C-alpha cells in the first residue's frame, strides 16, 4: 500500500456532513439537486438493494452489497464506461460482479475533465478514480472498526467483505454502508500497490454489451419522450455560402410538419472557444412529428443562398487565443492542392533548426526528397449528429452524444439566456466520436429550436447533413528531405509540412533530437471549410508520411528499417541533439515498442509471398509500433496480418484495449487506403457512403495481434495512438508488394492505379 494525500478530485469525496444522521440515505443527491439522476441499471441480473448509501460523488453502496459506480466521462466506443469504474472498483476492493455502472451527468463541481478527447480519459482520472475507491474502502473499514470496537488497522477488506481476524467479526460492505456514509472522509488514503490489483489488468466485458446486442435504447438518436418533436436543419449547399431567404409555404403544409424557421446559433459578439465552432451559423429548421416527414419537408424548402463575405474570428482553445480567417469564395480541392504544392516550394516558417542543415545538405553526396499528401476526411460516426433538448422558461434539459459537455455548457447557457446552474447536460452512449462530437454545435441547435417551440425536441442530422456540414480532418502536404554523405551516413534532415487550414508538423517529435542538422518548417492556407480534431489530429497524416520516408532512407542506406530507427533512437537517448527537454518523446520507450514488435512479428523471418512494412510512432503520451503483412491476390493487396506493440503504461482492461488497437489498425488502413472528401465549388463531392468509401469487412486485416509493454507506468493514451502509425506500415508493405512507393492518400487512387 502507498499512502497518498487525497487531494486530487477531493471535491467529490467530501459530503455534506450536516446531513449526517443514523442510517441516513442520501439517495445519491450529492449531485446537486437540479442535476437529474440517471438511474438506469446496467446489469439487470443483479438484485437491487432496498436502500442505497452514498459514500462519495462516484459511488453508492446498497444494503445488499451491490455497488453503483458513476462513470464520469463520455463513452464514444473507447470503453471508458467499463474501464473507468474498474479502476475505482479495484481500489474499493469489491467483486466486479456486484458492480452496477451508471453514466454520470455533467457535474463540474464534482468531476474534472468530463471530456472524450486527447486520449486522456483514463490518464487524467487515474488518480481520482483510485482515490474515490480507496477513500470509500477506508470509510467502510472505519465503520467496521467503530461497530466492532477494534482498531481500524486490524480490519481487512477483501472482495466486498470486511473482517477482523482476532474477534472473528465479519460483514459485507452492504451491512456497513450506512455507517460508512457518515464517516469522515480521510485526509490521506492508502492506494494499492500494483501487485495488489485484482480488477485492473484483467479483461472485463463491456458493461453495455447485453443492451447493445439486444437493441435497447442507448444512443442519443434513440431518445423518445412524450410529446417530443423531431427537428432537421437545412444548411448552405457549399462552404462560403450563407442563408439569404427562404420560402417554407409548401414545407409547412406537408403532413406532420409543425413549423419552419431560421435559427442563428451564436450572436456576432459571442466569444467562442474552438469547440463552439460550426460550419454554418444560420440554418433553416424544420420541425415535425416524425423523422421521415421532416426529411421530406426539408426537400420541399425553397431557399436562396448567397456568398458569405470574408470574416475573421478569434477563439480560445484550452486557454490559448487563436485567430481563424474565413476567406470569401467557393473553394476547390484542385486549387488547394495546387496552392499546397506551390507553397511547398517556398520557405516556410522555421519551427525548429538544429546545427546547420543548409550546409549539410550542400555537402551531401546524395539527397532523397519525397512529397506526401492526404485529402480532407469526414468523421462519419455511424450515429449521425443529434441531440435532445427540452428547454422551458427557466431550465434546459439536454441529453445526447457529446464529447465535450463541460465545454459546451457555457455556450448553450449563454445562448439560451439561462444561468449555468439551470442547464443540465447528460450524456448518452455515443455511436462513435473520432473528434467530431468535440464540436457540440448540434446541442446548441437543438436547444435553440426547443426554446422556440416550447417543446421537447430531438434534432437529427441526415447522413448527407452530417457529411456536408462537418468539422473535417484538414488536407495536408509534406516534403521530406534527407542528406547522406559519401559513406551513406544520414547527415541532414528536413521536413516542411503545411495544410488547409493547419500544418500537420510536430517539429520536436522523432527524428528531431537524433540528427545533427535538422530543419522543420511549416505553412498554412486559409480556408472557409471548417476543420477540427480527427482521431489523432495531425499525427494521423504526418506519422504515415514520416514513417514511409524513414523506410525509404533506411533502404537507401542499406539498413534494416527497424535497426535504422533503433540507431536513431539510441542517438536521441544517449546524446540528444538540442535541448533534451524540447524533444517530446522518450527514446527508450520508443525503442521498447520497436523491440517488442520485432520479437512478436518474427521480423526478419520472411515468408515468401508475404510483404512486410514496419512503422512506429509516439502520440498522446503513448508509443505504438506496427508490422503489417501483405499478400497479393490477383493484383489486389490483402492485409493478412497486423502485429502491434503498444506502450500505454498499465493496461486497465486488456481485451478492451486490444479491441481499440485492432480498431485503430483497421481505421488507419481504411482511411489511408480508401477514404477522401473532395470539394468542388465549395461543396463536398461525397455526401453519403455510395461515394465516400469506408473500409469494409473484406478489406480488413485477416488477423490482428496486439502486445502491450509491461512497465507499470501509470496509464497513458490508448484511443488515438494505434491509429497513425499503421498508415506508414501500410505504405511500406505496399512498396514491398508492388515495387512502387505510395505517397498520396488515399493509396487506392494514387496513380497509376493500384487495382482495376
- Residues in contact with other proteins by the rule CB under 8 A: 76-79, 203, 205-206, 208-210, 212-219, 221-222, 224, 230, 255, 290-293, 295, 380-384, 429-434, 460, 462-463, 655-656, 659-660, 662-667, 670, 688-690, 694-698, 700-704
Do 277 and 404 meet the contact criterion of CB atoms below 8 Å apart? Answer: no
Question: For residue 342, what are the contacts with CB-CB under 8 A and spacing of at least 6?
Answer: none
Minimal distance, residue 296 CB to other proteins, in Å: 8
Residue 282 vs 655, nearer CB to other proteins: 655
Which residues, at least 6 apart from 725, have a Cβ–Cβ distance to it below 8 Å? 543, 544, 547, 615, 616, 617, 624, 625, 626, 668
Nearest distance in Å: CB 638, other proteins: 11
Q: How far is the CB of 84 from other proteins (least distance, A)?
A: 16
Least CB distance to other proteins at residue 676 (A): 16
Among 639, 588, 646, smallest CA distance to 622 is for 646
485 CB burial (10 A radius; 0-12, 13-18, 19+): middle
**What is the nearest approach in angstroms of other proteins to the Cβ of residue 94?**
21
Q: How would you classify the pairing of strands 188-191 and 2-5?
A: antiparallel
Backbone angles phi, psi at 608, to 5 degrees: -75, 140
Smaller CB distance to other proteins: residue 78 or 475?
78
In the complex with other proteins, the residue whose CB is nearer, 109 or 703, is 703
Compute the least distance from the CB of residue 639 to other proteins, in Å. 11
| CA proximity to 115, closest of 273, 222, 279, 275 | 275
Alpha-carbon gap, residue 379 to 483, rounded angstroms: 37
Least gap, CB of 515 to other proteins (angstroms): 34
Q: Measure the CA–CA gap between 483 and 553, rounded to whole angstroms.
A: 9
Can you tell me the distance from the alpha carbon of 90 to that of 92, in angstroms, rounded to the nearest whole number?
5
Closer CB to other proteins, residue 345 or residue 698?
698
Per DSSP, the three-state class of 344 is helix
| Residue among 210 and 573 whose Cβ is closer to other proteins | 210
Q: Which is nearer to other proteins, 462 or 479 (CB)?
A: 462
Report the nearest approach of other proteins to the CB of residue 337 (Å): 26
Burial tier of 213 (Cβ tally within 10 Å: 0-12, 13-18, 19+): exposed
DSSP H/E element including 210: helix 209-214
Question: What are the two backbone dihedrals, phi and then psi, of residue 49, each rounded to the nearest 5 degrees?
Answer: -75, 165
**CA nearest neighbour of 101 among 368, 403, 366, 429:** 429
Query: 22 or 215: whose CB is closer to other proteins?
Result: 215
Instruction: Please provide residue 234's backbone torsions phi and psi, each rounded to the nearest 5 degrees.
Output: -105, 135
C-alpha span between 466 and 279 (Å, rounded): 11
Nearer to other proteins, 78 or 479 (CB): 78
Closest to other proteins by CB, 180 or 695: 695
For 714, phi then psi, to 5°, come to -55, 150
Residue among 348 and 401 whose Cβ is closer to other proteins: 401
Q: Closest separation between CB of residue 458 and other proteins, Å? A: 10
Q: Strand, helix or coil at 130? A: helix
Cα–Cα distance measured from residue 479 to residue 344, given in angstroms and rounded to the nearest whole number: 7
CB of 32 to other proteins, least distance (A): 30
CB 300 within 8 A of CB 243: no
Amino acid at each position: 500500500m502507498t499512502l497518498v494525500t487525497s487531494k486530487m478530485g477531493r471535491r467529490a469525496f467530501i459530503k455534506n456532513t450536516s446531513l449526517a444522521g443514523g442510517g441516513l440515505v442520501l439517495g445519491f443527491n450529492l449531485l446537486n439537486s437540479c442535476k437529474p439522476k440517471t438511474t438506469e441499471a446496467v446489469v439487470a441480473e443483479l438484485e437491487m438493494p432496498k436502500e442505497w448509501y452514498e459514500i462519495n460523488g462516484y459511488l453508492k453502496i446498497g444494503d445488499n452489497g451491490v455497488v453503483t459506480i458513476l462513470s464520469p466521462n463520455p463513452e464514444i466506443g473507447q470503453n471508458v464506461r467499463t474501464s473507468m469504474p474498474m479502476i475505482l472498483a479495484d481500489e474499493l476492493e469489491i467483486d466486479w460482479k456486484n458492480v452496477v455502472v451508471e453514466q454520470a451527468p455533467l457535474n463540474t463541481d464534482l468531476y474534472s475533465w468530463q471530456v472524450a478527447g486527447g486520449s486522456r480519459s483514463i490518464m487524467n482520472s487515474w488518480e481520482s478514480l483510485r482515490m474515490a475507491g480507496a477513500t470509500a474502502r477506508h470509510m467502510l473499514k472505519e465503520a467496521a472498526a467503530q461497530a466492532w470496537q477494534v482498531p481500524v488497522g486490524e480490519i481487512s477488506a477483501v472482495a466486498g467483505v470486511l473482517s477482523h481476524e482476532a474477534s472473528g467479526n465479519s460483514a459485507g460492505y452492504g451491512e456497513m454502508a450506512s455507517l460508512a456514509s457518515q464517516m469522515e472522509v480521510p485526509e490521506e488514503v492508502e492506494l494499492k500497490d500494483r501487485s495488489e490489483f485484482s480488477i485492473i489488468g484483467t479483461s472485463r466485458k463491456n458493461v453495455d454489451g447485453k443492451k447493445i446486442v439486444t437493441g435497447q435504447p442507448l444512443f442519443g438518436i434513440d431518445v423518445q419522450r412524450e410529446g417530443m418533436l423531431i427537428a432537421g436543419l437545412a444548411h448552405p449547399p457549399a462552404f462560403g455560402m450563407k442563408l439569404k431567404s427562404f420560402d417554407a409555404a409548401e414545407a409547412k403544409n406537408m403532413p406532420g410538419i409543425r413549423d419552419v424557421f431560421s435559427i442563428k446559433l451564436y450572436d456576432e459578439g459571442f466569444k467562442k472557444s474552438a469547440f463552439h465552432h460550426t460550419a454554418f451559423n444560420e440554418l433553416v429548421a424544420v420541425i415535425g412529428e416524425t423523422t421521415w416527414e421532416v426529411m421530406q419537408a426539408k426537400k420541399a424548402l425553397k431557399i436562396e443562398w448567397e456568398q458569405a463575405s470574408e470574416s475573421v474570428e478569434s477563439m480560445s482553445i484550452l486557454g490559448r487565443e487563436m485567430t481563424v480567417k474565413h476567406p470569401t469564395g467557393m473553394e476547390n480541392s484542385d486549387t488547394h492542392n495546387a496552392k499546397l504544392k506551390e507553397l511547398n516550394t517556398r520557405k516556410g516558417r522555421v519551427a525548429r533548426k538544429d546545427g546547420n542543415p543548409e550546409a549539410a545538405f550542400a555537402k551531401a553526396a546524395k539527397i532523397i526528397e519525397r512529397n506526401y499528401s492526404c485529402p480532407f476526411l469526414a468523421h462519419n460516426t455511424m450515429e449521425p449528429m443529434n441531440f435532445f433538448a427540452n428547454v422551458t422558461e427557466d431550465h434546459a434539459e439536454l441529453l445526447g452524444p457529446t464529447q465535450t459537455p463541460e465545454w459546451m455548457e457555457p455556450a448553450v447557457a449563454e445562448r439560451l439566456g439561462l444561468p449555468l446552474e439551470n442547464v443540465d447536460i447528460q450524456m448518452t452512449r455515443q455511436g462513435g466520436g473520432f473528434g467530431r462530437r468535440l464540436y457540440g454545435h448540434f446541442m446548441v441547435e437543438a436547444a435553440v429550436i426547443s426554446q422556440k417551440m416550447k417543446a421537447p425536441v430531438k434534432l437529427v442530422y441526415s447522413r448527407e447533413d452530417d457529411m456536408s456540414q462537418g468539422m473535417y480532418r484538414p488536407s495536408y502536404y509534406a516534403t521530406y528531405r534527407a542528406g547522406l554523405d559519401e559513406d551513406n551516413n544520414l547527415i541532414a534532415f528536413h521536413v516542411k509540412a503545411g495544410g488547409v487550414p493547419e500544418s500537420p508538423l510536430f517539429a520536436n517529435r522523432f527524428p528531431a533530437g537524433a540528427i545533427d542538422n535538422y530543419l522543420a518548417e511549416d505553412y498554412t492556407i486559409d480556408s472557409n471549410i471548417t476543420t477540427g480534431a480527427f482521431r489523432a489530429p495531425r499525427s494521423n497524416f504526418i506519422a504515415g508520411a514520416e514513417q514511409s520516408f524513414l523506410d525509404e532512407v533506411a533502404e537507401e542506406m542499406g539498413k534494416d528499417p527497424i535497426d535504422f530507427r533503433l540507431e536513431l533512437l539510441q542517438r536521441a537517448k544517449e546524446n540528444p541533439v538540442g535541448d533534451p527537454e524540447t524533444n517530446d518523446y522518450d527514446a527508450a520507450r520508443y525503442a521498447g515498442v520497436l523491440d517488442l514488435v520485432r520479437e512478436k512479428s518474427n521480423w526478419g523471418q520472411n515468408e515468401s509471398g508475404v510483404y512486410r512494412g514496419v512503422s512506429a510512432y509516439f502520440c498522446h503520451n503513448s508509443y505504438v509500433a506496427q508490422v503489417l503483412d501483405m499478400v497479393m491476390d490477383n493484383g489486389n493487396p490483402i492485409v493478412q496480418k497486423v502485429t502491434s506493440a503498444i506502450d500505454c503504461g498499465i493496461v486497465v482492461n486488456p481485451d478492451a484495449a486490444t479491441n481499440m488497437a485492432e480498431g485503430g489498425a483497421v481505421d488507419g488502413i481504411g482511411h489511408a487506403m480508401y477514404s477522401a472528401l473532395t470539394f468542388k465549388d465549395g461543396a463536398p463531392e461525397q455526401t453519403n457512403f455510395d461515394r465516400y468509401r469506408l473500409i469494409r469487412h473484406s478489406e480488413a486485416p485477416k488477423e490482428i495481434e496486439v502486445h502491450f509493454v509491461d512497465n507499470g507506468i501509470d496509464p497513458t493514451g490508448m484511443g488515438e495512438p494505434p491509429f497513425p502509425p499503421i498508415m506508414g506500415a501500410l505504405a511500406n508493405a505496399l512498396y514491398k508488394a508492388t515495387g512502387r512507393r505510395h505517397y498520396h492518400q488515399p493509396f487506392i487512387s494514387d496513380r497509376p492505379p493500384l487495382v482495376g
